[in-house]
Amino acid sequence: MTYGTTVPYPAPHPGPQDSHPAGTAPARTGSEAAGDLPRLLPVHGAVPVDLRSHLSRYGAPPYFGAPGKLIPVLKAAGLTGRGGAAFPVHRKLEAVAEARTRPIVIGNGAEGEPASDKDKSLLWISPHLILDGLQLAAEAVGSQAVALYVHRNARLQERLRAAIAERAAAGVDVAAVEIFDAPPRFLAGEESALASRISGDPAMPRFKPPRVFERGVVGRPTLVHNVETLAHIALIARYGPAWFRAVGTPGEPGSMLCTLHQADGRRDVVETGLGTPLRDLLRLDGTQAVLSGGYHGAWVPTADAARMTLSNADLRAAGAFVGAGVLVALPARCCGIAETARVARYLALESAGQCGPCFNGLPRIAAALDEVASPRPDPRAVTDIIRWAGLVEGRGACHHPDGTTRFVRSALHVFRDEIRNHSAGRCVDPARQPFLPLPADAALDASDWS
Amino acid sequence: MNGITQSTALWYASRATGVVSLLLLTGVVLLGVLVNRQGRLPGLPRFVVTGLHRNLSLLGVVFVAIHVITAVLDPYVTIQITAIVVPFTSSYKPLWLGLGAISLDLVLALILTSLARARISRRFWRSLHWLSYAAWVSALVHSLFSSTDLQGGLLLYLTIACTLAVLAAVIWRVTHARREIPRAGRAAATLDMMSPRDDPRAPASPRDRAGRRAPENVR
């Protein structure tokens, strides 16, 4: 597991600070000065934080004493989910808190995206922030059933169990936390796949409606939050919305963890404020394009990326989005189409095999991309890809086909010069040296999803 | 037999569209079983099975609409317009026409829930869709006894053929498992069809492609 070191940042992105209604949260100063980074990760080095250091830096989790009180605080802070969808956190909590049956709260640490390391890093280094967030969220929705959904990594799970036991013994936790296994699949972290898995079935997405906040794990309303989101909740509850908003932009407040893939192959997890210029995060010289949002994200040419900040306001204009903070700088020496073809093949094999358009369409798209990545490709391949992309979008139980086609379409656009090159029989990297990270094994039978 | 005159035109239209509706509904049920068992029509692409199932059902509704409207408008027998959807309330042959109304109600429910599939839970849609068999049986009995058309000659053989086909399809559905490629392996199976490789986990390489030359800028 790589977890990198944090990079301290200068003054936060300038912007008027929002004031929060007086009395919604205690304003604390001291070691967590507003505007300072890092917040989620330790200040010095990537050393795992134990309970004592956690309590001495942040204090005990500030339980509110009654359900629902945390929600207006989160609303004032404007926290959005850090799992990729950026859904307003307070709205999810409100929806689950309104449920008539007792809800379940799950921390999602599956991180099926191969290019993302931030959740693994946070679980390893700052598990107590995540566990605080779980307890506070459970209190807010009136739940006593709490769980963490993480990879099958024996060392990580042992650490987490020890941390949970320590907290229970010290009386820090109010609800017992169970740990559930996530299979190493791309879709394992999708919220309905998570609900399926924890209910005892394979981790495959389910048809919606109903959504998991209405009927999730064993049919009960389920609150699912990414582990980083829970860590932010734990801090907002202590330091208040204004503190949270001291970093980031007014429209997209706060900090987030990003996984940066530099052109020289370095891979780091850093914490940065939203609105940070991309050129401050990635070294852009010698690169041709930036991938933002992971393998369901989109490519942006370097010329454009150099002028953009880490914000949906900028990235959406280029067809991309912030997502879970995966940023990859593609070196100029790589063939963008070949890289896209490799990833498309992986995404096709990661289909759950439930929906015809997905398990039929994605392999065809991947094979056609492979064709386009070869010298003198069949000219129909590109039009085939575009046609199939239109046929699979919106036709699945989950957004796997949509995300894949977004990724593929952006590649066809951004790497069109390289496609023209291939038609003429040339390629910038004929040896097709792999750059984008992919796991070695593909799922071939049902047990790989359990 | 008398020819179609102005006074009998509506009656003939109703009978003719009735026969066509029954044939279409039979086709839809057979295709529905094929969709469920993930079968294919020989020589045709995979999407045709689902597409034809849907399109024929919509076409069937059109023919059924003409069938019931001409029956109501026909002055020879009295059929109240409400009897189209409320079973057993017709003045003329209330029992047999009532079965027709039941069939129509069920078909409408199936079509409307299918059009609203994105908005309803899949479990609800699926359990409602089981009623398609009831709709077909109801339509068949209605067809056989509302008039004597299907009780002799060519139309009787047609009716027997439809019944045997649906019976065979149901038996096939019950006895045959779906093609058991585990879901997780389906995408891999499709991918292998595209470019057969010994090891589906091996990364793609220009050299794997039989007969393809290396790019020109490599010598």
pLDDT at A23 exceeding the cut of 70:
no
Give B195's contacts in chain A (Cβ within 8 Å): 367, 370
In terms of Cβ atoms closer than 10 Å to its own Cβ (0-12, 13-18, 19+), residue A288 is buried
Beta carbons of A248 and A18 less than 8 angstroms apart: no
Q: For A355-410, what is each residue's pLDDT tens digit? A: 989 999 999 999 999 999 998 999 999 999 999 999 999 999 999 999 999 999 99
Residue A18 has pLDDT above 60, yes or no: no
For the ranges A160-169, B101-110, B205-214, the lowest mean pLDDT is seen at B205-214
Return the SS3 of B77: coil
Weakest mean pLDDT among A24-28, B31-35, B165-169, B202-206 = A24-28
Instruction: State the CATH class of domain A336-434.
Output: mainly alpha
Strand partners, A148: A107, A179
Chain B residues closer than 8 Å to A404 by CB: none
Residues of chain B positioned with their CB less than 8 A from the CB of A375:
206, 212-216
State how far residue B160 is from chain A, nearest Cα, in angstroms. 34
* B206–A442 CB contact, under 8 Å: no
Contact list, B45 vs chain A (CB under 8 Å): none
| Residues in chain A within 8 Å Cβ distance of B194 | 363-364, 366-367
Q: Please judge whether A442 and B188 are an interchain contact, meaning their C-beta atoms are less than 8 angstroms apart.
A: yes
Structure tokens at A305: 């990326």
Query: Sorting pLDDT into bands at 50, 70 and 90, what band is A112?
Result: very high
Average pLDDT, chain B: 85
CB–CB contact B200 A360 (8 Å)? no
- Let me know if residue B124 belongs to a domain: yes
CA distance A135 to A67: 11
Residues 256-285 of A with CB under 8 A from B: none
Query: Is B211 an 8 Å CB contact of chain A?
Result: no
Q: How many domains does chain B have?
A: 1
Distance from CA of A435 to the nearest CA of B (A): 13
Q: Is residue B216 part of a domain?
A: no
Query: How far is residue A290 from each of residues A90, A96, A111, A282, A435, measured CA to CA in Å?
Result: 32, 37, 21, 9, 13
Q: How far is B180 from chain A (nearest CA, A)?
A: 11
- Helical pair B183-194 and A336-349, crossing angle rounded to 10 deg: 140
**Length, in residues, of chain B:** 219
- Residue A351 CA to residue A205 CA, distance in Å, equals 10
Between the two ends of chain B, the Cα-to-Cα distance in Å is 85
Contact A358 B187 (CB under 8 A): yes
> Which residues of A are less than 8 Å from B213 in CB distance?
375-376
Q: Tell me if B84 is assigned to some domain.
A: yes
Return the minimum-mean-pLDDT range out of A242-251, B134-143, B199-208: B199-208
Q: Is the pLDDT of residue A45 over 90?
A: no
Residue B204: its chain A contacts at CB < 8 A?
Answer: 341-342, 345, 370, 373, 432
B219 touches chain A (CB under 8 A): no
Residues 21-50 of A with CB under 8 A from B: none
Average pLDDT over residues B142-161: 94
A378 to chain B: closest CA residue: B212
With respect to residue B153, please indicate whether it lies within any of the assigned structural domains. yes
Exposure of A283 by Cβ count < 10 A (0-12 exposed, 13-18 middle, 19+ buried)? middle
- A 10 A CB-CB count for A391 gives 17
Q: Per-residue pLDDT for B108 more than 80?
A: yes
A140 interfaces chain B, CB cutoff of 8 Å: no
Q: How far is A385 from chain B (nearest CA, A)?
A: 14
For B215, the closest of A345, A349, A426 (CB atoms) is A426
Burial class of residue B77 (count of CB atoms within 10 Å of its CB; 0-12, 13-18, 19+) = middle
Whether B200 has its CB under 8 Å from any CB of chain A: the answer is yes
Residue B179: pLDDT band (50, 70, 90) is: low
Q: Tell whether B186 is within 8 A of chain A (Cβ).
A: yes
Q: Could you say which residues from 24 to 83 on chain B have a Cβ atom under 8 Å away from some Cβ of chain A?
A: 46-47, 50
Whole-number pLDDT of residue A50: 93
Residues in chain A within 8 Å Cβ distance of B48: none
Reported pTM:
0.78
Domain range for B70 is 9-179
Q: What pLDDT shows up at residue B7?
A: 78
Q: What residue spans in chain A does CATH classification 1.20.1440.230 cover?
A: 336-434
For B7, other C-beta atoms within 10 Å of its C-beta total: 11
Cβ contact, residue pair B183, A367, below 8 Å: no
Mean pLDDT of A306-334: 96
In this complex, do B121 and A367 lie within 8 Å of one another by their Cβ atoms? no
Q: What is the DSSP string of A304-346?
A: HHTT-BSSHHHHGGGT---TT-EEEEEETTS-HHHHHHHHHHH
Q: Do A364 and B194 touch (CB under 8 A)?
A: yes
> CA-CA distance, A356 to A397, in Å (whole number)?
10
Q: What is the DSSP annotation of B94-152? A: HHHHHHHHHHHHHHHHHHHHHHTTTTS-HHHHHHHHTHHHHHHHHHHHHHHHHSSGGGS
Question: Residue A6 pLDDT > 50, yes or no?
Answer: no
Residues in A 330-369 with any Cβ partner in B closer than 8 A? 341-342, 345, 348-354, 356, 358-360, 362-364, 366-367
Place A443 in a pLDDT band, splitting at 50, 70 and 90. Answer: low
Query: CA B216 → CA A173, A374, A394, A425, distances in Å?
Result: 65, 11, 40, 6
Residue B195 has a pLDDT of 59
pLDDT greater than 90 at residue A447: no
Question: Closest approach of chain B CAs to the CA of A271, in angstroms?
Answer: 33
CATH code for residues A257-331: 3.10.20.600
CA distance to partner chain A, nearest, from residue B215 (Å): 5
- Which pLDDT value is given to residue A438? 94
User: How big is the CA angle at A56 (ends A50 and A59), to the nearest 5 degrees?
Assistant: 105
CB contact under 8 A, B190 and A363: yes
Residues of B in contact with A445 (CB under 8 A): 182, 184-185
Interface of B with A in 117-156 (CB under 8 A): 119-122
* Closest approach of A120 to chain B, Cα-based (Å): 25
Least confident residue range of A104-113, A205-214, B182-191: B182-191
- Examine the pLDDT at A347 and tell me if it is beyond 70: yes
> What is A51-245's CATH number?
3.40.50.11540
Report the pLDDT value the prediction gives residue B1, as an integer from 0 to 100: 53
Torsion angles phi and psi, residue B182, rounded to 5: -55, 145
Tokens 């990879």: give the residue: A151
The predicted pLDDT at position B106 comes to 97
| Residue in B172, B107, B92 with CA at minimum distance from that of residue B137 | B107
Ranges for all domains in chain A classified under CATH 3.40.50.11540: 51-245
Distant-in-sequence, close-in-space partners of A91: CB < 8 Å, separation ≥ 6: none
Q: Cα separation of A170 and B181, whole Å? A: 51
Whether residue A209 is preceded by a cis peptide bond, meaning omega within 30 degrees of 0, is yes
From chain A residues 413-432, the ones with a CB under 8 A of any chain B CB are 422, 425-427, 430-432
At residue B78, the pLDDT reads 87
What integer pLDDT is reported at residue A356 of this predicted model?
A: 87
Give the integer Cα–Cα distance in Å for B184 and B181.
Answer: 8
What is the pLDDT at residue B180? Answer: 63
Tokens 């007086």 -> residue: A22
Search chain B and give the residue with CA nearest A211.
Answer: B121
Closest Cβ opposite residue A442 in set B183, B194, B201: B201
Nearest to A445 among B184, B213, B216 (CB): B184
Shortest Cα distance from A207 to chain B (angstroms)? 7
Percentage of chain A beyond pLDDT 70 is 92
Q: Is the pLDDT of residue B53 over 80?
A: yes
Report the relative pairing of strands A104-109 and A222-226 from DSSP bridges.
parallel
Residue A232 pLDDT: 97
A5 token code pair? 């070191």
Q: Could you tell me which residues are beta bridge partners of residue A147?
A: A106, A178
Q: From start to end of A4-133, where are the E strands?
A: 104-109
Q: How far apart are CA A396 and CA B122, in angstroms?
A: 13
Which amino acid would we find at residue A145? A
Q: Which residue of B has its CA nearest to A355?
A: B183
Q: What mean pLDDT comes out for the span A243-258?
A: 96
Task: Give residue-wise pLDDT tens across range A69-96.
Answer: 999 999 999 999 999 999 999 999 999 9
Q: Which of A140-154, A336-350, A378-392, B39-53 has the lowest mean pLDDT?
A: B39-53
Give the pLDDT score at B2: 62
* Amino acid letter for position A51: L
Residue A115, classed as helix, strand or coil, is: coil
d(CA A321, CA A299): 10
By residue count, chain A amounts to: 450
Q: In chain A, whose CA is at the least distance from the CA of B196?
A: A367
Per-position DSSP letters for A150-173, written without gaps between them: EES-HHHHHHHHHHHHHHHHHT--
In chain A, list all ranges with CATH 3.10.20.600.
257-331
**Is B121's CB within 8 Å of A209's CB?**
yes
Interface residue B201 vs chain A (CB under 8 A): yes
Q: Please, are residues A253 and A273 in contact by the beta-carbon 8 Å criterion?
A: no
pLDDT of residue A307: 96
